[in-house]
């Protein structure tokens, strides 16, 4: 019955099926409390409850008459202790209790298991020394718990072990990876007692006294195919010639290595090499690029400075993924293979033009050359890559010229970033061919163009950054076509020459900022999730103004929303339709010529964290309703024509005095709490009452439009009730600022 979407609870009556031998409910979307009595059916030999994340339960006290051979509880909400009676299951050979909420200690006796997986739970304590009694054990997984203390020396008894995972625990005492009674890692040479070991995987330990590990201890393990060591200092000198030649995956990241390991050239089967986050200096040896089976190389975050003078891309190279980022490479860009699908040379000192040879990488999907000193214009032949390219990052270089018309067939392009260069001219019209584009960043260049309204056809666009260029004209389409990107969540057009009035319905179609995102427990980022040679994905990064400072985000959360229209020549009122953007977090309208009142409907933006409307011509009072915005951490309303008191909300009281300066009409005890005693100024003459009432009526209409995001019938009923029952005052009090409401919210 696996992966049959039952979507129900399991009835207690199942335990009456006394002849049941096998029960597979993997991925059936079960929920509720699982009857533990089912696990005690005497003839049951195999049960699989995996991949039912909403299924709760506990393990029962087992009896010796139980026939279980295999018990799998994976990715569930099972909890509680693993009972000592598990040792009563004399026939049990495979026990998987992973990615759940089991707690307590590992039982001292576990029967006769050949497979044991207890990973990703809340287990504590030490691994019991009795684990060495499982002489048939081939797979042992306890990663992702809260285990501590020493690893037992009896692990050396597990002579049939071929895979062990101990990662992400809290081992803080002396670590016995030696599998005997020697301290630290000194005795690890006895690992030869595990001749069938195929995978050795250890990282994320908080060792207190770790001595350098000699890799020669692995030389006798002829079956070793994967060696992953991280955050343990190792010595790579004097490695013997019989180092495991069958190694396919070698990762020595964060191991304090200073010289390029020569023994690697003997790996005739090596496919994946990760030497990232070390201190390797000097040149990359030329033999590395000639290794016939090598598929992925990660040399990022080292101090490498160059390549062998005679190095050339090998026509036999199988390399598809190369990461050279964050080193000290200089000179022309080097491309080691024509088979590349992922290449990163970011954060180096590569100079010169982008070589035309790059256009021969017909399978290239991700190209990151950001943060270098590359110059010249983009070669037109890059058009040949557009059918495969998904991410192109050229930011922070010295590139010049115009963006060429090369994007018409770029249907897979997800992210394009050429910010912080010297690009000129207009945006290419062929960008409309980028039907999968999610991120477009051309900020900090010299582009002279109108707003690219034609990009509205890009229905997946999430991030649009045009800041610090020479864009001009209006920000709305004068032809009457609705402006709005349905998926847009970040737009930055600051520091340009945009002019005009924003229509009152300007933000009507910005649905991604008006609808709530899924409440995922784990943070999600704007990224390309599939990067060759990496399980982490390729993340979008941005530099944006937030809370008054320029902030570089190496990863952009999918819930992050921002509008930055600052530093232009916009005038008129701030559109009341801004109140529809209920998921908006950052709003910057500063350094324009906006007039009118601060929309009281801003109080509907419950997620707003930063508000900057400084250096405009906005008048009237700060709406007291804004004092209810508990998420609002940074506010700047300085240099306007505001009058009256500041709201009583705590967040307003915590701002710097500079957030309110340049408004001689602001006064009252609330302001004195922030700025000290200030001589009250004569308030500037406010607008006529009827003007204020008109603005509030318009605000009311947009609050009503906010209800329209629910189904139309609900909207009609709600509005009908308001009109028929004469509840206009209630509606304004609840959702807007009523004309007759003068009390301040505290």
Three-class HEC string of 576-625: HHHHHCCCCCEEECCCCEEECCCCHHHHHCCCCCEEECCCCCCEEECCHH
pTM value > 0.75: no
In a domain, residue 396? The reply is: no
Distance between CA atoms of residues 703 and 722, nearest Å: 13
Residue 214: per-residue pLDDT? 80
Range of the domain at 611: 440-695
pLDDT of residue 198: 78
**Reduced 3-state DSSP string for 666-729:** ECCHHHHHHHCCCCCCCCCCCCCHHHHHHHHHHHHHHHHHHHCCCCHHHHHHHHHHHHHCCCHH
Q: Which two tokens stand for residue 385?
A: 């890559």
Domain annotation covers residue 514 = yes
In a domain, 403, yes or no: no
Q: What angle do CA 682, 683, 684 make, to 5 degrees?
A: 115
What is the DSSP annotation of 373-410?
EEEEPPPGGGGGGTTT--EEE--SSEEEEEPPS--TT-
Q: Which helix (H) or strand (E) holds 54?
A: strand 52-57
Q: Are the C-beta atoms of residues 636 and 660 closer than 8 Å to each other?
A: no
Closest CA to 159 of 175, 137, 140: 137
Q: Work out the number of other CB atoms within 10 angstroms of the CB of residue 604.
A: 23
Q: What is the CATH number of the domain that holds 691?
A: 3.80.10.10
201 within 8 A of 228, measured Cβ to Cβ: yes
Tokens at residue 465, please? Answer: 């950054």
> What is the number of structural domains in the chain?
1
* pLDDT under 50: residue ranges of the chain: 173-187, 204, 206-209, 521-523, 532-536, 678-746
**Residue 649 main-chain phi, psi, to 5 deg:** -60, 145
Q: Is residue 177 part of a domain?
A: no
pLDDT digits (tens, 9 = 90+) for 418-428: 999 999 999 99
Q: If you search the block for the tokens 């192109």, which residue do you land on?
A: 392
Residues 6+ apart with CB under 8 A from 321: 295, 296, 297, 298, 340, 341, 342, 343, 531, 532, 533, 534
Asked if residue 448 belongs to a domain, the reply is: yes
Quick one: pLDDT at residue 517? 62
State how far the Cα of 68 lies from the Cα of 66, in Å rounded to an integer: 6
| Beta strands 527-528 and 538-539, pairing class | antiparallel
Position 746 scores a pLDDT of: 36
Buried b (16+ CB within 10 A) or exposed e, 493-516: bbbbebeebbbbbbbbbbbbbbee
């Amino acid at each position: 019955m696996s992966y049959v979407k039952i979507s129900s609870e399991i009835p207690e009556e199942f335990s009456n099926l006394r002849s049941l031998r096998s029960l597979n409910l993997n991925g059936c979307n079960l929920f509720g409390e699982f009857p533990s009595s089912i696990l005690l059916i005497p003839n049951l030999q195999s049960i699989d409850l995996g991949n039912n994340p909403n299924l709760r339960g506990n393990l029962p006290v087992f009896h010796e008459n139980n026939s279980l051979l295999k018990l799998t509880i994976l990715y569930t909400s099972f909890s509680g202790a693993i009972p000592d009676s598990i040792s009563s299951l004399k026939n049990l050979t495979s026990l998987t209790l992973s990615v759940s909420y089991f707690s307590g200690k590992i039982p001292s006796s576990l029967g006769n298991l050949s497979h044991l997986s207890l990973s990703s739970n809340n287990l504590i304590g030490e691994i019991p020394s009795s684990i060495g009694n499982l002489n048939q054990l081939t797979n042992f997984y306890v990663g992702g718990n809260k285990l501590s203390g020493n690893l037992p020396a009896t692990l050396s008894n597990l002579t049939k072990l071929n895979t062990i995972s101990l990662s992400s625990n809290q081992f803080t005492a002396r670590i016995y990876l030696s599998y005997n009674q020697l301290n630290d890692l000194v005795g690890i040479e006895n690992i030869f007692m595990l001749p069938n070991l195929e995978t050795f995987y250890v990282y994320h330990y908080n060792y207190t006294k770790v001595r350098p590990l000699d890799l020669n201890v692995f030389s006798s393990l002829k079956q070793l195919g994967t060696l992953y060591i991280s955050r343990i200092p190792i010595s790579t000198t004097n490695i013997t010639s019989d180092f495991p030649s069958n190694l396919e995956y070698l990762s020595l990241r964060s191991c304090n290595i200073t010289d390029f390991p020569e023994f690697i050239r003997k790996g005739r089967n090596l496919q994946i090499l990760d030497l990232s986050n070390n201190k390797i200096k000097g040149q990359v040896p030329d033999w590395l690029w000639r290794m016939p089976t090598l598929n992925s190389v990660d040399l990022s975050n080292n101090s490498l400075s160059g390549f062998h003078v005679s190095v050339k891309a090998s026509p036999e190279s199988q390399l598809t993924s190369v990461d050279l980022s964050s080193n000290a490479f200089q000179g022309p860009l080097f491309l080691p293979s024509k088979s590349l699908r992922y290449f990163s040379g970011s954060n180096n000192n590569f100079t010169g033009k982008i070589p035309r040879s790059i256009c021969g990488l017909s399978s290239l999907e991700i190209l990151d050359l950001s943060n270098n000193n590359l110059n010249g214009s983009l070669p037109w032949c890059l058009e040949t890559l557009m059918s495969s390219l998904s991410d192109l990052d050229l930011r922070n270089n010295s590139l010049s010229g115009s963006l060429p018309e090369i994007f018409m067939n770029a249907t897979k392009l997800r992210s394009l970033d050429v910010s912080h260069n010297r690009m000129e001219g207009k945006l290419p019209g062929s960008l409309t061919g980028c039907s999968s584009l999610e991120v477009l960043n051309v900020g900090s260049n010299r582009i002279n163009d109108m707003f690219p309204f034609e990009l509205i056809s890009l229905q997946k666009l999430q991030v649009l950054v045009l800041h610090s260029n020479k864009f001009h004209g209006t920000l709305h389409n004068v032809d009457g076509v609705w402006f709005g990107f349905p998926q847009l969540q970040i737009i930055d057009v600051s520091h340009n020459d945009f002019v005009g009035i924003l229509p009152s319905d300007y933000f009507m179609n910005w649905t991604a900022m008006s609808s709530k995102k899924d409440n995922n427990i784990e943070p999600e980022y704007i990224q390309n999730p599939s990067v060759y040679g990496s399980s982490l994905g390729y993340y979008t990064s941005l530099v944006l103004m937030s809370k008054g400072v320029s902030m570089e985000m190496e990863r952009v959360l999918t819930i992050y929303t921002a509008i930055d229209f600052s530093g232009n020549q916009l005038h008129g009122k701030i559109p009341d339709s801004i109140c529809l953007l209920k998921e908006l977090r950052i709003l910057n309208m500063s350094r324009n010529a906006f007039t009118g009142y601060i929309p009281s409907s801003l109080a509907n933006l419950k997620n707003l964290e930063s508000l900057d409307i400084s250096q405009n011509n906005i008048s009237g009072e700060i709406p007291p309703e804004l004092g209810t915005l508990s998420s609002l951490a940074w506010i700047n309303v300085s240099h306007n024509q505001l009058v009256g008191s500041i709201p009583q909300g705590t967040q307003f009281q915590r701002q710097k005095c500079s957030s309110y300066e340049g408004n001689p009409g602001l006064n009252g005890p609330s302001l004195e709490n922030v700025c000290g005693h200030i001589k009250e100024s004569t308030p500037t003459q406010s607008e006529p009452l009827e003007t204020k009432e008109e603005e509030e009526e318009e605000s009311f209409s947009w609050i009503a439009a906010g209800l329209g995001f629910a189904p139309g019938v609900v909207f009609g009923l709600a509005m009908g009730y308001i009109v028929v029952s004469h509840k206009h005052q209630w509606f304004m009090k609840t959702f807007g600022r009523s004309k007759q409401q003068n009390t301040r919210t505290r």
